[in-house]
Amino acid sequence: MTAAATLLFVTSLGAQASKSGVQEFDPQAFPGQVVDDVVVPVPSEVFSVLDKLGEPNWQQELRDVDFPNTTDRTKLAMIFGVVVAEGFVAVQAEDTEKVKDIGREVIDMATALGLIKSVRPHAQAILDAADKSDWRSIRKEFDQTQKTVRDSMEQMKDMDLSQCVSLGGWLRGTGSVTSVVTKNFSADRAELLNQPMLVEHFLSTIGKMSPKMKEHNTISDVSKGLTFILEKMEGAVDGFTKDAVRDIGKTCDSLLLEIRSAK
């Protein structure tokens, strides 16, 4: 395992279903553990868990993939993470055209980041698999795309940008989780948001970034937003309320708008 080790999302849920029809699971085992002090969220695992908790209308969760033209590499890295996470929403919705749009956006983002040579094979594989509605292969390629980008950034000694990819992906994934949970709220579903360890790690990672990176407006806003989200998570001692889930979702959406802005 490389220094860019993967965050192990635990997806082994309890075998017996609760009275509400939602499979039981241990919230303390989700999202898993941080390995080698580097977090690499795997969106496919998040959505895999959600699939086992019911059948959300993923089509309603899709968002536009029109992103601003920018040369800001910090924003580009975060946007890349958002794009990959959006890809998993499209796969869950089994929306072929949306997957293709996102595959082309991956190519544009990789080009802007100067990583197109390593990413193109994955992007082409996504487009080819979309023509065959091969959803499993598409999930695999989206996972590999994010890993390839992070590995490439780390090889270039740019750990800060690598973490920005993870931040963008986590915010989009968490935004999807809160949306799904809010629309069909239950205490079991809400416990998917019980991730204070992961949020603490992101905050710690931001704290270790270069002074210039920490002063970036978007990074500063993300840090404040994560602090608010952590407070909500730590305050849910007796479980999450629907309002708390909604507040976390609104914060994620606000940060995603900031990431997508042209400023």
Asked if pLDDT for residue 55 goes beyond 80, the answer is no
Q: Which residue has the higher pLDDT, 125 or 53?
A: 125
- pLDDT tier for residue 45 given thresholds of 50, 70 and 90: low
Per-residue pLDDT averaged across 137-143, rounded? 90
- The pLDDT tens digits for 155-179 are 888 889 989 998 999 999 899 889 9
The answer to whether 203 and 230 have CB atoms below 8 angstroms apart is: yes
Four-CA torsion 4, 230, 169, 149, nearest 10 degrees: -20
What is the per-residue pLDDT across 73-93, written as a single tens digit (0 to 9) for each?
999 999 999 999 999 899 989
Please tell me the total number of residues recorded for the chain in this structure. 263
First to last CA, the chain: 38
What residue ranges do the domains of the chain occupy?
Answer: 27-260
Packing angle of the helix pair 135-155, 159-183 (nearest 10 deg): 150
